[in-house]
């Protein structure tokens, strides 16, 4: 940054810690930099701040009244006290009012455990309520789509109304009535049905007023293990956390990344996770012996496969899944090159692209699989139609080696692979034409392994294992890497970083990138950085 | 020296006491004991409890196998909030929540492994709806180990009174 463009800074003190922030920083953000979390409801970093919940009141020395930290900007020399007697008293009063009509149904509320009203009341609220009057009762309203509204739990922060107005730009929610009768409602029963960004209001709701029907009563917040990951359902590559209980993915939640998805994600991606929990997976490597597939140990399987593959030079036709990681696709490419080269295809379902108007770099992309870009960069070409079917003719009639990675082959003809010399199937479930394979190798899904996807904008993003692998399944990069080291004399990759490091040889786009440097928010491809 | 050793055939440091005949005789003590025996025959002092026909009264704080309270219509009071499995130090409670036909949250599966349970009573203490209780009960015998995993039906059909960590006249401890 040159000196002329240097931002002006102002100095301030938050709870006794003096530091400098850029001019125009809001007090709540300044406090967050010192690790002080000022309680707040209506403020959300992705939305405008109306300063209406009055929860973030802090004392500023010299100011006559308490300041709302979500809109007040830090002035030079401000001494901000977030926990002074006056501030605490004001916030305790706000909490008491919020609890006037709150049903206190935490035992049956889905937000329990991640609820800001619970947290702040425990931290700063009164130990006992003083209300003698009966509580106002609104009841439950179905807002359409995946969203259920519990009016009694609402604290009227209007984050949901502002999200629909400012970010989704599809005003479907509004505050109706006034005073203690005020309630969030939809227009004319149309509800949120049909807006694919609607579930974000569930994420941003600080209390249990808006809950997801899909997640209703499914798991408690404190039972969930959270693993950073990447949404696999379109090429956007939204950063998510996989929330898991008892080895089952319970829900997907967006993980903030200003470069990719902001704070948001679409309902298509969010609700399309059941396939990760599918049962009936292949649990052991299978080898064809006397016409039947026989389970075998990994070492026996890979030794036999290496012997069968060594010396094959008729080339390879591969069919890969665009849900596979960069490392997996690179391993397929390298194996194909070692066996005489050959073309590879992937098939991807596609649909309409839906842009989020208030954050236009985020869209539900038309290709509905995470790693289409990675597959294209690593030399695989698109085949089939927009339903993800067809396009297998070349592989079907091929008489060399056929290698399938992750594709279910649902629509392949019954004799797929019968003409080939060697048919290797690396995948998750054994069905249809996969039963014709000479070798069936169980591989992991993105939720069970470490690896990376390349999104539509050329950003390489890592994901981490969230659930246990079924049976003897292994990541495909590991299976194929060990196999390749048995065919040609090269070391097998031990870690996903080793597999990632070889991608630069296959596509210059990956050259110079290091897996360890991708971090939690990913890095753009080498060429797009220049 | 040598003669004394031959006479007594005793260990070196034992000192013999010289006592009068009437004190050294066992007859007196024997008669005393027999007198006590006869006294008890006439006026018996009962110590043995005739279990299982008779039973000791338990302390109101005795913590035994669990009881699930239920509503009048037979539904369990449990709302599947998940606090008891969270607080259970022995990790012996399994809970799967769901929605019943009236739209209420309820436990689809609620199981307590009484073998793992350490009967600390924290499940009862943490329960926000006064549903699960430890009971005043100590007779646990089963033909199989599996039977000690009490499911919801079994917990609701337990007949023993609940432990008084909780005062029935003041259910919400207000």
Q: B8 touching A, CB under 8 A?
A: no
Q: d(Cα A338, Cα A208) in Å, to the nearest integer?
A: 56
Calpha distance B149→A459 (Å, rounded): 51
Cβ of A220 within 8 Å of Cβ of B86? The answer is: yes
Q: Give the model confidence (pLDDT) of A469-515 as tens digits.
A: 999 999 999 999 999 999 998 999 999 999 999 999 999 999 889 99
Confidence (pLDDT) at A396: 87
Residues from chain A that touch B83, judged by Cβ atoms under 8 A, are 107
Measured between alpha carbons, how far apart are the two ends of chain B, in Å? 87
d(CA A183, CA A179): 9
| B9 domain-assigned | no
Residues of A within 8 A of B97 (CB-CB) are 217-220
Taking CB atoms and an 8 Å limit, are B97 and A218 in contact across chains?
yes
**Interchain contact, A107 vs B81, CB within 8 Å:** yes
The better pLDDT of the pair B139, B60 is held by B139
Residue B94 lies inside a defined structural domain of this protein: yes
- Note whether A238 and A254 are within 8 A (CB): yes
Which H or E element spans position A253? strand A248-254
Distance, CA of A29 to chain centre: 25
Q: How far apart are CA A513 and CA A481, in angstroms?
A: 20
**What pLDDT is attached to residue B168?**
62
Give pLDDT tens digits for A256-286. 999 999 999 999 999 999 999 999 999 999 9
Give dist(CA B107, CA B95) in Å, integer.
Answer: 6
Nearest CB to A217: which of B86, B98, B128? B98
Contact at CB, B81 and A218, closer than 8 angstroms: no
Whether B129 contacts chain A with CB within 8 A: yes
**In the A/B pair of chains, how many CB contacts fall below 8 A?**
30
Cα nearest neighbour of B94 on chain A: A246
Looking at chain B, the number of H-run helices and the number of E-run strands are: 6, 5
Instruction: Confirm or reject contact between B132 and chain A (CB < 8 A).
Output: no
Query: In chain B, which residues have their Cβ closer than 8 Å to the Cβ of A219?
Result: 97
Residue A106: list chain B partners with CB under 8 A.
81, 128
| Separate counts of helices (H) and strands (E) for chain A | 14, 26
Handedness of CA A55, A61, A65, A68 (dihedral sign): negative
List residues of A whose CB lies inside 8 A of any B CB: 106-108, 112, 140, 216-220, 222-223
Domain that holds residue B79: 66-157
**Chain A residues within 8 A of B79 when measuring between CB atoms:** 107-108
Give the distance from residue B149's alpha carbon to the nearest chain A alpha carbon, in angstroms: 19
| Nearest residue to A39 via CA among A121, A113, A111, A131 | A121
Nearest residue, CB atoms, B99 vs list A217, A220, A223: A217
- Contact criterion met (CB < 8 Å) for B82 and A217: no
Q: What is the pLDDT of residue A302?
A: 96
In a domain, B39, yes or no: no
Residue B82 contacts A, CB cutoff 8 Å: yes
> With an 8 Å Cβ cutoff, are B97 and A112 in contact?
no
| Cβ-Cβ contacts under 8 Å, A250 against chain B | none
pTM of the shown model: 0.86
The string of DSSP codes covering A342-399 is --EEEE-BB---EE-TTSTT-EE-SB-STTHHHHHHTTEEEES-TBS----HHHHT--
Residue A141: CB partners within 8 Å, gap ≥ 6? A148, A149, A151, A185, A186
DSSP three-state, residue A90: helix
> Two tokens at A258?
């200003």
* Contact call for A217 and B97, based on CB within 8 A: yes
CB contact under 8 A, B105 and A222: no
| Residues in A touching B80 (Cβ below 8 Å) | 108, 217
H/E stretch holding A118 reads: helix A116-124
pLDDT of residue B156: 95
Interface test with A, best of B79, B81, B88 (most A CBs within 10 A): B81
Q: Which two tokens stand for residue A456?
A: 């539509």
Q: Does B97 touch chain A (CB under 8 A)?
A: yes
B91 touches chain A (CB under 8 A): no
The answer to whether A311 and A392 have CB atoms below 8 angstroms apart is no
Q: What CATH number corresponds to the domain at position B106?
A: 3.30.70.3270
Mean pLDDT of chain B: 87
Interchain contact, A108 vs B98, CB within 8 Å: no
Show residues of chain A in contact with B105, CB under 8 Å. 108, 217
Q: Is A530 exposed, middle or buried (0-12, 13-18, 19+ CB in 10 A)?
A: exposed
Length of chain A: 530
In a domain, B52, yes or no: no
Nearest CA in chain A to B99: A217
Query: Would B8 be classed as within a structural domain?
Result: no
**Per the CB < 8 Å rule, is B128 touching A216?**
no
How far away is chain B from the Cα of A464, in angstroms, using its nearest Cα? 26
Rg, C-alpha atoms of chain B: 31
Higher pLDDT, A65 or B10: A65
Phi/psi region, residue B21 (left: phi>0; alpha: psi -120 to 50; beta: rest), is alpha
Note the pLDDT of residue B17: 77
Q: Are strands A380-383 and A344-347 parallel, antiparallel or unpaired?
A: parallel
Number of compact structural domains in chain B = 1
Q: Determine, yes or no, domain membership for B169.
A: no
Structure confidence at residue B2 (pLDDT): 47
Residue B78 has pLDDT above 80, yes or no: yes
**Cβ(B105)–Cβ(B79) under 8 Å?**
yes
Tell whether B54 is covered by a domain.
no
Q: Which residues does chain A have within 8 Å of residue B81's beta carbon, measured at their own beta carbons?
A: 106-108, 112, 220
Give A223's contacts in chain B (Cβ within 8 Å). 82, 86
N-to-C CA span, chain A = 18
β A140-142/A147-150 pair status: antiparallel
Note whether B126 contacts A: Cβ–Cβ < 8 A: no
Low-confidence ranges of chain A (pLDDT < 70): 1-6, 527-530
């Amino acid at each position: 940054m040159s000196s002329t463009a240097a931002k002006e800074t102002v100095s301030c003190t938050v709870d006794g810690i003096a530091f400098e922030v850029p001019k125009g920083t809001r007090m709540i953000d300044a406090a967050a930099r010192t690790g002080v979390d000022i309680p707040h409801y209506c403020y959300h970093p992705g939305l405008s701040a109306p300063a209406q919940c009055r929860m973030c009141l802090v004392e500023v020395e010299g100011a006559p009244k308490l300041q709302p930290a979500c809109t007040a900007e830090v002035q030079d020399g401000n001494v901000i006290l977030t926990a002074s007697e006056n501030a605490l008293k004001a916030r305790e009063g706000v909490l008491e009012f919020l609890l006037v009509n709150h049903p206190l149904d935490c035992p049956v509320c889905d937000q329990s455990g991640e609820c800001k009203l619970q947290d702040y009341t425990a931290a700063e609220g009164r130990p006992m309520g003083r209300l003698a009057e009966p509580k106002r009762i609104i009841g439950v309203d179905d807002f359409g789509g995946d969203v259920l509204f519990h009016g009694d739990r609402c604290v009227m922060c209007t984050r949901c109304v502002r999200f629909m107005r400012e970010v989704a730009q599809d005003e479907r929610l509004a505050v109706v009535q006034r005073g203690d009768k005020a309630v969030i409602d939809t227009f004319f029963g149309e509800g949120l049905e049909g807006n694919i960004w609607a579930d974000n209001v569930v994420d941003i709701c600080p209390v249990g007023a808006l809950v997801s029907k899909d997640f209703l009563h499914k798991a408690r917040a404190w039972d969930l293990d959270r693993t950073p990951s990447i949404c696999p359902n379109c090429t956007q590559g939204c950063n998510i956390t996989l929330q898991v209980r008892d080895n089952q993915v319970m829900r997907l939640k967006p993980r903030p990344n200003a470069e990719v998805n902001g704070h948001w994600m679409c309902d298509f991606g969010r609700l399309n996770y059941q396939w990760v929990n599918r049962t009936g997976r292949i649990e052991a490597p299978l080898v064809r012996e006397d016409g039947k597939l026989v389970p075998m140990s990994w070492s026996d399987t890979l030794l036999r496969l290496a012997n069968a593959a060594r010396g094959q030079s008729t080339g390879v036709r591969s069919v890969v899944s665009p849900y596979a990681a960069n490392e997996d696709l690179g391993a397929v490419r390298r194996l194909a090159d070692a066996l005489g080269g050959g073309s590879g295809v992937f098939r991807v379902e596609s649909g309409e692209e839906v842009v989020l108007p208030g954050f236009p770099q985020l869209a539900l992309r038309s290709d509905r699989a995470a790693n289409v870009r990675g597959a294209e960069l690593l030399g695989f070409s698109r085949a089939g139609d927009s339903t993800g079917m067809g396009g297998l003719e070349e592989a079907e009639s091929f008489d060399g080696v056929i290698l399938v990675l992750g594709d279910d082959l649902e629509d392949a003809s019954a004799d797929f692979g019968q003409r080939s010399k060697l048919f290797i199937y690396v995948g998750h479930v054994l069905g249809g034409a996969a039963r014709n394979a000479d070798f069936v190798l169980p591989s992991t899904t993105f939720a069970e392994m470490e690896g990376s996807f390349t999104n539509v904008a050329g950003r390489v993003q890592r994901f981490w294992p969230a659930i246990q692998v079924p049976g003897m399944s292994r990541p495909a990069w590991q299976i194929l890497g060990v196999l390749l080291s048995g065919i040609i004399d090269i070391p097998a990759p031990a870690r996903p970083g080793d597999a990632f490091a070889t991608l630069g040889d296959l596509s210059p786009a990956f050259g110079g990138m290091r897996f360890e440097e991708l971090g939690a928010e990913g890095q753009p491809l080498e060429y797009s950085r220049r | 020296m040598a003669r004394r050793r031959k006479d007594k055939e005793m260990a070196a440091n034992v000192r013999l006491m010289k006592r009068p005949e009437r004190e050294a005789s066992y007859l007196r003590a024997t008669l005393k004991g027999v007198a006590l025996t006869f006294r008890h025959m006439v006026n018996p002092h009962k110590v043995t409890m005739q279990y299982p026909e008779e039973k000791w009264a338990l302390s109101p704080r005795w913590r035994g196998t669990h009881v699930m309270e239920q509503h009048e219509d037979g539904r369990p009071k449990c709302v599947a909030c998940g606090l008891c499995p969270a607080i259970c130090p022995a990790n012996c409670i399994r809970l799967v929540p769901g929605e019943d036909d009236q739209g209420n949250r309820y436990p689809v599966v609620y199981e307590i492994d009484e073998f793992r349970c350490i009967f600390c009573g924290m499940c009862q203490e943490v329960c926000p709806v006064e549903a699960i209780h430890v009971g005043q009960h100590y007779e646990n015998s089963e033909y199989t180990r599996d039977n000690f995993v009490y499911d919801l039906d079994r917990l609701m059909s337990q007949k023993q009174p609940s432990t008084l960590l909780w005062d029935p006249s003041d259910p919400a401890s207000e």
